[in-house]
Amino acid sequence: MIRTIADSIVESLLNAGVKRIYGIIGDSLNALLDAIRRSGKIEWIHVRHEEVAAFAAGADATLSGGIAVCAGSSGPGNLHLINGLYDCHRNRVPVLAIAAHIPSSEIGSGFFQETRPDMLFQECSFFCEVVTGPKQMPRAVTMAMQTATARSGVSVLVLPGDVAAFEYDESPVPERVIHSTRPNVCPSTDELKTLADYLNKGKRITLLCGAGCAGAHASLMKLCEKLQSPMVIALRGKEYLEYDNPYSVGLTGLIGYSSGYHAMMECDVLLMLGTDFPYRQFYPQEATILQVDLDSSRLGRRTTLAYGVCGDVKTTVEMLLPLLKEPHSPDHLQHFAAHYAKVREELDNLADPGRAPIHPQFLMKVISDLADEDAVLTCDVGTPTVWAARYLSMNGERRLIGSFNHGTMANAMPQAIGAQVAQPGRQVISLSGDGGLTMLLGDLLTLRQHKLPIKIVVFNNGALGFVELEMKAAGFLEFGTELDNPNFAVLAQAMGIEGIRVEDPNDLESAVRRALEHSGPVVLDVVVNRQELAMPPKINFEQARGFTMWMLKAVLNGQGNEIIELAKTNLLR
């Protein structure tokens, strides 16, 4: 049989360890899909929307540690990939997207379904090139995969449908396609000494730690002990640092704790480690700020630094520890540890059964208590992320995946698909908002078709809850946020999926147990309180004024009952 460019691509993928591709077939992908079929070694994960394919590939890469692949047909098909690819790229996970294209002879003619994928994907990739003929192979696909792996991001291979079917008799595909290396990067001796000098002079040192601290838990505990420093954790660092950590004072930012906020604001030295925390208003104005990051382009881009160094967090901290000679008073640490204990107690008190409608905090706590010790949890943007940040307990084995940089809706269920496919023996739970779930609702069918035992927990508050909160804080009457939802349990049952609905808090724990123990996919539809406030750690004047304006407008527009419900929910527990 004649060997084609598509065969060369499949062979390259196999040699790179690729086991599956997420996508939707279209005629421009025919040659590639036929090559996949004939190989019999790569699974085609058929989804119902290409955006889901990209999200799933990102979660797959996150858990597997290797490159994951998604594909879309020409024009609209690969355009649907773009939002998910933005999320993958900003999460810094290695993903190869194969964007099929119109026939090469028609490019530039305004042909049916014509777009310019070579331009469209430039902003969400490190590599985006068009395959025009066999002489580029296998180098084009190996360059794409090597770039995605080396730079931890997205590569896009644009493949016209006719080119994929071209006969290929060029260079053989190398047995080793990807050369993956993770060197230990450490600042120079002089840089370490300068960093140590700043820390030795500090009296009230606080650490701000993010996802770049993965693998450095033990070293960071030693650093906190040496400096007597509280540790503030950025959201993406939660899964790596929150557990077994007597120095943690919680998160900061819009979904953080007052203890984390004040531990940063009242320090005289802030040491940023492996974080690109974006919210400038949460950085101290008077403190000396230091930063360690593996990507030197991030140094100083969020706040003004006194000093920044490029280095792997674990390696840098281990080299830094012997240089820290000065003793530090425990007062700063003890003060904010006590503050955090008080805040934690107050937050836990909010996670009580209460009365109907169910408090979302209570739902998240029950999930945290009952989920497997090594569960993978994905969370939608908005209030599910708030409650996950505050009430999910991490232990070093659990994983938490979300759209924490790109901030898109509808990520949780698709990411759960990729997580479950990548690790079929692991419990996977999607913490879905009602708005996020319904945006890509059709891919519930993917769970059934591929027999994925994912547990979808729907935080059903009948609204785009976080958007409503933002409108209130800005002084606007909520408008355009209400969701007229179906009974998601009944909807799931119509799709051939187990569906459970809970409205009474007394039924919640047994319903969660039932869902988690079910052998197949489940949609657990939990009606939660729409009026629950997810307040930031500090309310500024503009937010206070905004809430006041919202209440005045609500009364004047005949919505005073909403203020009463808000008070009942948040004050009269």
Q: Where is pLDDT greater, at 442 or 552?
A: 442
Q: Among residues 121, 466, 488, 547, which one is catalytic? A: 466
Indicate whether 51 pLDDT > 50: yes
Asked whether residue 337 falls in the same domain as residue 355, the answer is: no
Binding residue ranges: 50, 252-255, 275-279, 293, 407-409, 434-436, 461-467
Residue 535 is predicted with a pLDDT of: 57
Q: Among residues 69, 93, 95, 113, which one is catalytic? A: 113
Task: Answer whether 71's CB lies under 8 Å from 121's CB.
Answer: no
315, 341, 367 - which closes a domain: 341
Q: Which secondary structure element, helix H or strand E, spans residue 243, and what is its range? A: none
Binding residue ranges for FAD: 252-255, 275-279, 293
292 lies in some domain: yes
Q: Among residues 95, 366, 381, 526, which one is catalytic? A: 381
Asked whether residue 214 falls in the same domain as residue 332, the answer is: yes
pLDDT band at 554 (very low <50, low <70, confident <90, very high): very low
Could you report the per-residue pLDDT of 126-136, keeping only the tens digit for each?
Answer: 999 999 999 99
What spatial distance separates the first Cα and last Cα of the chain, rounded to whole Å?
Answer: 73
Could you report the per-residue pLDDT of 480-499, keeping only the tens digit for each?
Answer: 999 999 999 999 999 999 99
d(CA 493, CA 481): 27
- The residue-averaged pLDDT of 504-510 equals 97
Indicate whether 200 pLDDT > 70: yes
Rg over alpha carbons for the chain, rounded to the nearest Å, is 25
Q: Which secondary structure element, helix H or strand E, spans residue 516, and what is its range? A: helix 508-517
Indicate whether 180 pLDDT > 90: no
Q: Kindly report the average pLDDT of the chain as a whole number.
A: 92
Asked whether residue 83 falls in the same domain as residue 115, the answer is: yes
d(CA 554, CA 388): 30
Indicate whether 468 pLDDT > 90: no
Residue 555 is predicted with a pLDDT of: 45
113 lies in some domain: yes
- The residue-averaged pLDDT of 198-202 equals 97
Residue 565 is predicted with a pLDDT of: 46
For residue 274, the enclosing domain spans: 189-341
Q: Where is pLDDT greater, at 467 or 421?
A: 421
- 468 catalytic per annotation: no
- 112 catalytic per annotation: yes
Binding residue ranges for thiamine diphosphate: 50, 407-409, 434-436, 461-467
CA dist list (Å): 238 to 303, 318, 391, 490: 22, 21, 11, 35
pLDDT band at 472 (very low <50, low <70, confident <90, very high): confident
Asked whether residue 306 falls in the same domain as residue 397, the answer is: no
- 478 catalytic per annotation: no
474 lies in some domain: no
Cα dihedral across residues 29, 34, 39, 45: positive or negative: positive
Give helix 541-556 / helix 560-570 axis angle, nearest 10°.
130
Residue 475 is predicted with a pLDDT of: 83
Residue 563 is predicted with a pLDDT of: 39
Written as six digits, the tokens of 476 are 């606007």
Q: Among residues 10, 47, 50, 166, which one is catalytic? A: 50
341, 372, 400 - which closes a domain: 341
Binding residue ranges for Mg(2+): 434, 461
Residue 549 is predicted with a pLDDT of: 55
**Which residue from 314, 311, 295, 340 is spatially nearest to 220, judged by alpha carbons?**
314
pLDDT band at 562 (very low <50, low <70, confident <90, very high): very low
Indicate whether 544 pLDDT > 80: no
pLDDT band at 570 (very low <50, low <70, confident <90, very high): low
- 381 catalytic per annotation: yes
547 lies in some domain: no
**Which residue from 273, 439, 461, 315 is spatially nearest to 384, judged by alpha carbons?**
461
Residue 505 is predicted with a pLDDT of: 96
3-state DSSP assignment of residue 392:
coil
Indicate whether 520 pLDDT > 70: yes
Asked whether residue 29 falls in the same domain as residue 159, the answer is: yes
Indicate whether 346 pLDDT > 80: yes
Could you report the per-residue pLDDT of 349-376, keeping only the tens digit for each?
Answer: 988 888 889 999 999 999 999 999 999 9
Task: Answer whether 223's CB lies under 8 Å from 273's CB.
Answer: no
Residue 476 is predicted with a pLDDT of: 85
Q: Say what percent of the chain tops pLDDT 90.
A: 83
Q: What is the CATH number of the domain that holds 207?
A: 3.40.50.1220
Could you report the per-residue pLDDT of 14-35, keeping only the tens digit for each?
Answer: 999 999 999 999 999 999 999 9
- 362 catalytic per annotation: no
- The residue-averaged pLDDT of 507-529 equals 98
552 lies in some domain: no
* Domain total of the chain: 3
Asked whether residue 85 falls in the same domain as residue 215, the answer is: no
Coarse DSSP helix, strand, coil percentages of the chain, rounded to the nearest 5 percent: 45, 15, 40
Asked whether residue 424 falls in the same domain as residue 327, the answer is: no
Cα dihedral across residues 490, 495, 496, 500: positive or negative: negative
